[in-house]
Copies of this chain bind each other. A is one copy, B any other.
Amino acid sequence: MIKQSKDFWILKQNKLIPSEALAWESLFTQGSGYLQIRGSLEERLENSPQNIEYVRKTTNVSAEKFIDQSTRWGCYIPGIYSPHPVFNNEITNLPFPLGIDLYISGERLDPLNSTIAEFSRELNLKTALLKRNMIWKCKTGAVLNIKWRRIVHALVKKLILQEVVIVPDKDIEIEVVAGIDGDVRTNGYNHFTRVECQASSTGCLCVVETDGGNRVEIASIMSGDGWKGEANGKSAKQIKKIKLKAGEQLVLEKRSALSCDRDIDVLSASEVLDRYKDISFEKLLTGHIEEWEKRWEKSDIEIKGDKKSQLNVRVSIYHLLRSYVDDDRVSICSKGYSSDAYWGRFFWDTEMYIMPFFLYTDPAKAKNLMNFRINTLPAARENARMYGYAGARYPWEADSNGKENCPDYLWQFRDHQIHISGDVIYGFLHYAYASGDYSYLKEDAAEAIIEICRYWMDRIDNVNGKSVLLAVTGPDEYNPLKNNNSFTNQIVIHSLKAGASIGKEAGVSNKEIAEWEKTAENIPILRRPDGMILQFAEFESLAEPDFVNYWKDRNKPYAESIDEERIYRNKSSKQPDVLMMMWLFMNEFSGEEIKKAWDYYEPYCTHDSSLSPGIHGLIATRLGLKKEAWKYWEKTSDFDFNIENGKTSSGVHIGCLASIWQFVVFGFAGVKTAMESEILTMNPLLPEKWEQVSFPLIWKGQRVKVTINHKKIFVENMSDGNLKVNICGREYIIAAQKSVGHIMQII
């Protein structure tokens, strides 16, 4: 195989442009799972105070304009949620531990105000190491060459390491101020009921108590001695003045750590710093890199012939890897903990978009994600009760308690986008089928499945002899409160069948099982007279969207160009709905039905949701639509890397990033999911531009490496047993540690 240049691992920012700074900060988010931190600069930016109090608009987040800032600090421990009076529980932005301010003769380095001759930052995706190089022309005339390095340690998960190396061209005295800033807000709101800061020559400590009832400790220490401690009610600092000769190199290291009262590993922040104090930066970095290498080994996708795609794929995988939390009391939030814009909430994105990546590369992690749903079953029961229902109803937006947190002004989603409970069951089954851990359904997940079925039975209405789901918002949020949405009906049918199949062993009565089976049969999937599946009962009576007049600038989301009131009465969609159903239930529909739905619904889709283009791409590959597939590939894989459009300012879209992985594996490589096929089956549609793609997979516990180019499909069975595969319709049995090369037929 051709060696890739190491550049394909480097995400690089070459300039600090205020309007793009937030997007880079999101993309440079680092995380250990335990701890997540946006890639903010070490320096405070004068134009972006972090303690402004404001109320976010009670509006759809997708259409919201955030306050205009060049940096938005974000330091999170997944699971630390605090109540907001309007928006409900939100992941809490913790005191900022990264700050290192530099002064020369009273001039503070502020990269947006100072004279900066050179600026670049790069994130090495392979090592998760963030570097910055800068040349600062001080007002005194001195020119400083400064380099930073930063990691959030992959193994010592509470630990952040920063290094700064300064070389002046003249003799200077530099003042360094480094510490912890506790004067921060979450979405403009102050969640701290107590902030206590201490500083001494040996380090800083900041303890906060939140209105969510948590206690968080943040500690930091600077390398070397001679520091002076200074603390006030909001912040703690270590300060030192250092004389440097021209050309002399100053190396400073800052270490910080976080801990909280919900930790499983009970080492406090101070104890963490203390425990590792004698281990050097380089040694700690080595351990960190080794851990990241292991992760990449399980999941890297190598693409030959398309540098851009290669980089985008790796950025996606990087964010998936760093946002995973090894703690089934939480899941991966929809911004992958790269911002508080979506309040750190868990959506259906987990089951339908994010989980499959882990499921086919590191299934124990997928299990952890699904266990979160099992752990929050009591809250789902409470949620059903809140609405007056039996059983369990998973919330549209869960916090770590699994409770509904979608604010009530978005009631069209909170109350009506009920498919989430069916998505959870789909996730359970997908996990079990792909991992081969079938007992998971009958044991771990059984109660949740049964309770969801009981909710469905209570939610279903009987109208004119049919079992119907009324006033439902499907995945396409531009068409809320519709009757018999096909997606929802299909996922309910699937739920009830799943419940019926595992119910008996779990003690459900025959009578109840029979009712589930009967009801599943009686739920309609509505079709037009010509057989085309309807998105919902009223679809054909809606108006045609007038994209020509109401969506002139296609670089902006449709919803920014038109009022929601108008959107709600035409056929435009935010994301796939019928096509999403078809993607999830490929075997239920013929190619002809799918093509018909594609031709009809695809032109109506605005892709205002980042979850949209990836699914369209998957359908296009399955339909063999090469050109469309490539168009959607560009849309999907560029979504978070199109820095200028500002979408990434408020965090990366982890569901979209996960759909990039699905696009390559299930789409271009044409691997059928375990929901579609019992054995590993693939039928690639490699983009012409790509010379080759290769990736590892785990199929029902067997490790596999797949390599596809335009001539050959090469499958290595890296497991200790035989592996049955189906490549382009031909079945192979690959012996343990052997491989097979399938020659592509040129049609």
Contact = CB atoms under 8 A, between A and B. Distances in A.
Interface string A362-399: 00000000000000000000000011100000000000
A58 B415 contact: no
Contact of A569 (B55, B470, B538, B568): B470
How large, as a class, is the contact surface on chain A? 35 or more
Given A407-B409, A538-B538, 10 more contacts: A59-B408, A387-B563, A408-B409, A411-B564, A411-B565, A415-B568, A461-B570, A470-B569, A471-B565, A537-B541
Given A386-B563, A538-B538, A541-B537, A86 B416 contact: no
A542 B469 CA distance: 10
A210 interface: no
Nearest to A543: B461
Contacts of A412: 412
Contacts of A415: 563-565, 568
Interface string A182-208: 000000000000000000000000000
A388 to B, nearest CB: 5
Contacts of A570: 461, 470
A566 B58 contact: no
Can you tell how many copies of this chain the complex includes? 2
A413 to B, nearest CB: 11
A733 interface: no
10 contacts: A58-B407, A59-B408, A86-B86, A407-B409, A415-B565, A415-B568, A464-B541, A468-B543, A480-B481, A481-B568
A563 B481 contact: no
A85 interface: yes
Given A58-B408, A58-B409, A86-B55, A387 B565 contact: yes
B388 A550 contact: yes
Interface of A: 55, 57-59, 85-86, 386-388, 407-412, 415-416, 461-464, 468, 470-471, 480-481, 483, 537-538, 541-543, 550, 562-566, 568-570
Contact of A471 (B58, B388, B470, B568): B568
B408 A483 contact: no
Nearest to A55: B85
Contact of A483 (B471, B538, B564): B538
Contacts of A386: 563
A541 to B, nearest CB: 6
Contact of A58 (B58, B468, B480, B543): B58
Contacts of A464: 541
A85 to B, nearest CB: 5
A649 B516 CA distance: 47
A470 B543 contact: yes
Contacts of A538: 483, 537-538
Given A470-B543, A471-B569, A562 B408 contact: no
Given A58-B409, A408-B58, A388 B566 contact: yes
Nearest to A484: B541
Contact of A86 (B58, B410, B481): B58
Contacts of A388: 550, 562-563, 566
Contacts of A483: 538, 541
In order of increasing CB-CB distance, the 8 nearest A-B pairs are A409-B409, A471-B569, A461-B543, A470-B569, A415-B565, A387-B563, A471-B568, A55-B85
Contacts of A563: 386-388, 415
A471 B386 CA distance: 28
A481 B58 CA distance: 20
A626 B718 CA distance: 86
Contact of A542 (B387, B470, B541, B566): B470
Contacts of A408: 57-59, 409
A565 B409 contact: no
A175 B543 CA distance: 72
A591 to B, nearest CB: 30
A407 B410 CA distance: 12
Residue of A386, A407, A483, A550 with most chain B CB atoms under a 10 A cut-off: A483
A525 to B, nearest CB: 16
Contacts of A480: 481
A412 B411 CA distance: 10
A734 B745 CA distance: 101
A480 B386 CA distance: 22
A397 to B, nearest CB: 15
Contacts of A541: 463-464, 468, 470, 483, 537
Nearest to A466: B541
A58 B57 CA distance: 12
A564 B463 CA distance: 20
Contacts of A58: 58, 86, 407-409
Nearest to A386: B563
A285 to B, nearest CB: 47
Contacts of A543: 461-463, 468, 470
A88 B462 CA distance: 41
A90 to B, nearest CB: 15
Nearest to A416: B565
A28 to B, nearest CB: 33
Contacts of A59: 408
Nearest to A418: B565
A622 to B, nearest CB: 32
Nearest to A561: B388
Contacts of A85: 55
**Which of A58, A85, A471 has the most C-beta atoms of chain B within 10 angstroms of its own C-beta?**
A471
A569 B537 contact: no
A68 B352 CA distance: 45
Nearest to A568: B471
A87 to B, nearest CB: 10
A536 to B, nearest CB: 10
A412, A415, A538, A564 pick with most chain B CB within 10 angstroms: A538
A85 B188 CA distance: 13
Contact of A387 (B468, B481, B537, B566): B566
A543 B470 CA distance: 8
Contacts of A470: 541-543, 569-570
A564 B412 CA distance: 11
A447 to B, nearest CB: 24
Contacts of A410: 409
A471 B463 CA distance: 22
B542 A463 contact: yes
Contacts of A409: 58, 407-411
Contacts of A55: 85-86
Contacts of A57: 408
